[in-house]
């Protein structure tokens, strides 16, 4: 199935039911008065995450969605039934935008999360609502209000822990095939990958992470050249980026120049993505003699760090070496793959531990604030009681009674 990551739809919430104009008519009861009930509230439209969905292709075939209208009110002061709500299933990681104003509405990131998109119309009022001592037979009602109508643009952003980026034929698809069960197309020509691919990498028995592969970037990608820029948004949710460079390009280009191309396009597209923690991975080391690999890696690392102008930026992984170096790997022979995957797993685990520690710190701070508020409340209560007791003692003295003496009635 073709990968669809954008779709435009139109949603219409239900109209509220009209109020009823009715009077009580029963045998032996004269002038029973008004008994027209209110209408029902119009149905609303919600988006709900569904992990079974992985594309927005369904919205291409069904672009319009409507919730149920509220029923009109009835006699005997009966309220009309509420319109049926409409729940639309969307993939996890879906971003929602107003297609007319370009306003950002929200993301669907959690399972069982129902996000209100379009609110149903308010119900109309029956004539029983307008009775009074001076108007005992009102003939006034109100109509139900229309529900919200919105034109939406949906964008699906893959949720992955690690994202791969690089020039076409940098070895991204080959790497994801080597470390996961994903089977993207691999060939000896550029733009073999046309749609993003996800793979689950297992490290050990109880640790795994999701890795995403997007089509390669080329120079001018931020201005619309090539395919990769269409899918760069999928990297915005990743926690770590792997920047893949061919250690010995067949076209004779310089790997450092190739690095600069990707760096430039990333910064032109989004500084947020460009400043994400990024590790350099030099691929296809099997094409270079083993004894030459360390020297090439060190040389490339020095040039790139000189280009960046700083040795403390998190773009390159030092690996404990005095000169920041990259991860040299070969997806064909498997050299360096285990080291890279283990390092990624350890890094993601450290992020989890850091987030847990920050969450505990926030919880402790929140609890401390609650305790301070509670203590302040108790103190204010004690002060109020003290003032009340003091006021009562003053009243007793004003009435000629000694508060320390018990008087018999």
Read off the pLDDT of residues 240-258 as tens digits, 9 standing for 90 and up.
Answer: 888 888 887 777 777 888 8
- Domain-ending residue, one of 352, 385, 404: 352
Q: Give the residue from 156, 191, 215 where a domain finishes.
A: 156
Task: Please check whether residue 1 lies inside any domain of the structure.
Answer: yes
In a domain, 382, yes or no: no
Confirm whether 41 is domain-assigned: yes
Q: What is the mean pLDDT of residues 303-313?
A: 64
Residue 319 and residue 188 share a domain: yes
- Residue 310 falls inside a structural domain: yes
* Shared domain check, 168 and 76: no
Collect all residues with Cβ–Cβ distance below 8 Å to 176 and sequence separation of at least 6: 164, 182, 184, 197, 199, 211, 213
Judge if 95 and 187 occupy the same domain. Answer: no
At 249-307, the pLDDT tens digits run 777 777 888 888 877 777 777 777 777 778 888 888 888 787 877 787 777 777 777 77
Q: What is the pLDDT of residue 184?
A: 58
- Look at residue 108 and tell me whether its pLDDT is greater than 60: yes
Q: What is the pLDDT of residue 186?
A: 58
pLDDT at residue 39, as a whole number: 92
Does residue 124 share a domain with residue 219?
no
Domain match, 333 and 198 both: yes
Are residues 343 and 317 in contact, defined by beta-carbon separation less than 8 angstroms?
A: yes
Q: How many residues comprise the chain?
A: 409
Residue 322, pLDDT above cutoff 50: no
- Judged against a pLDDT cut of 70, whether residue 10 lies above it is answered with yes
The CATH code of the domain that includes 171 is 3.40.50.300
Q: Are residues 122 and 52 in the same domain?
A: yes
Which of these, 41, 45, 42, 146, lies nearest to 86 by C-alpha position?
45
- CATH of residue 101's domain is 2.70.210.12
Beta strands in 67-103 (DSSP E): 86-90, 94-98
Tell me if 357 is assigned to some domain: no
pLDDT value at residue 172: 76
Predicted confidence at residue 177, as pLDDT, reads 80
151 and 167 in a common domain:
no
Q: What is the pLDDT of residues 168-191, one digit of tens each?
A: 777 777 887 877 766 655 555 455
> How many structural domains comprise the chain?
2
253, part of any domain: yes
pLDDT-derived band of residue 395, with 50, 70 and 90 as boundaries? low
* Distance, CA of 11 to CA of 202 (rounded, Å): 41
Q: Which residue has the higher pLDDT, 9 or 111?
A: 9
Predicted local confidence at residue 125, as pLDDT = 92
Q: What pLDDT, on the 0 to 100 scale, is given for residue 3?
A: 54
> In the chain, what percentage of residues exceed pLDDT 90?
16
Flag whether 57 is in a domain: yes
Where in the sequence is the domain holding 99, given as residue range(s)?
A: 1-130+140-156
| Helix H or strand E encompassing 47 | strand 45-49
pLDDT in tens, 46-92: 999 887 777 787 888 889 999 999 999 998 889 999 999 999 988 88
Residues 53 and 22 in one domain: yes
Give the span between the Cα atoms of 36 and 26, in whole angstroms.
15
Q: Are residues 106 and 253 in the same domain?
A: no
| pLDDT of res. 189 | 47
If pLDDT is split at 50, 70 and 90, which confidence band does 314 have?
very low
Asked if pLDDT for residue 28 goes beyond 70, the answer is yes
- Mean pLDDT, all residues of the chain: 77
Same domain flag for 149 and 278: no
Provide the pLDDT confidence category of residue 234 given band limits of 50, 70 and 90.
low
Task: Enumerate residues 6+ apart whose C-beta is below 8 A from 183.
Answer: 177
Q: Is the pLDDT confidence value at 239 over 60?
A: yes
180 and 144 in a common domain: no
Based on the fold, state whether residues 182 and 109 are members of the same structural domain.
Answer: no
Determine whether 323 is exposed, middle or buried from the number of CB atoms within 10 Å of its CB (0-12, 13-18, 19+).
middle
Residue 98 lies in a domain: yes
């Amino acid at each position: 199935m073709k990968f669809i990551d954008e779709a435009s739809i139109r949603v219409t919430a239900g109209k509220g039911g009209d109020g009823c104009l009715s009077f009580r008519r029963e045998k032996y009861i004269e002038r029973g008065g008004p008994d027209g009930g209110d209408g029902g509230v119009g149905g609303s439209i919600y988006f709900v995450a569904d992990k079974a969905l992985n594309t927005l292709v369904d919205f291409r075939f069904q672009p319009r969605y409507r919730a149920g209208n509220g029923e009109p009110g009835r006699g005997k002061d009966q309220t009309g039934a509420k319109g049926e709500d409409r729940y639309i299933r969307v993939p996890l990681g879906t971003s929602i935008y107003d297609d007319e104003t370009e306003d950002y509405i929200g993301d669907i990131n959690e399972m069982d999360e129902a996000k209100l998109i379009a609110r149903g119309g308010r119900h109309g009022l029956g004539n029983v609502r307008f009775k009074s001592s001076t108007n005992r037979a009102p003939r006034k009602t109100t109509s139900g209000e229309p529900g919200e109508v919105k034109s939406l643009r949906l964008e699906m952003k893959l949720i992955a822990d690690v994202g791969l980026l690089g020039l076409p034929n940098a070895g991204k698809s080959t790497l994801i095939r080597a470390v996961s069960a994903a089977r993207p197309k691999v060939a000896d020509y550029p733009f073999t990958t046309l749609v993003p691919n996800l793979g689950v990498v297992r490290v050990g028995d109880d640790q795994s992470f999701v890795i995403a592969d997007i089509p390669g970037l080329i120079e001018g990608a931020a201005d619309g050249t090539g395919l990769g820029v269409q899918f760069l948004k999928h990297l915005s949710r990743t926690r770590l980026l792997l920047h893949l460079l061919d250690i010995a390009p067949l076209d004779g280009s310089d790997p450092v120049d190739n690095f600069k191309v990707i760096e430039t396009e990333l910064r032109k597209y989004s500084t947020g993505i460009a400043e994400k923690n990024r590790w350099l991975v030099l691929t296809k080391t099997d094409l270079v003699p083993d004894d030459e690999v360390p020297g090439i890696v060190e040389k490339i690392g020095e040039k790139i760090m000189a280009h960046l102008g700083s040795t403390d930026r998190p773009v390159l992984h030092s690996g404990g070496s005095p000169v920041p170096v990259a991860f040299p790997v070969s997806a064909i022979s498997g050299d360096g793959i285990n080291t890279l995957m283990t390092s990624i797993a350890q890094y993601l685990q450290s992020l989890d531990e850091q987030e847990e520690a920050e969450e505990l710190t926030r919880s402790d701070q929140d609890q401390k604030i609650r305790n301070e508020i509670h203590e302040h409340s108790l103190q204010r209560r004690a002060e109020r009681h003290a003032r009340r007791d003091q006021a009562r003692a003053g009243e007793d003295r004003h009435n000629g009674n000694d508060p320390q003496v018990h008087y018999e009635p």
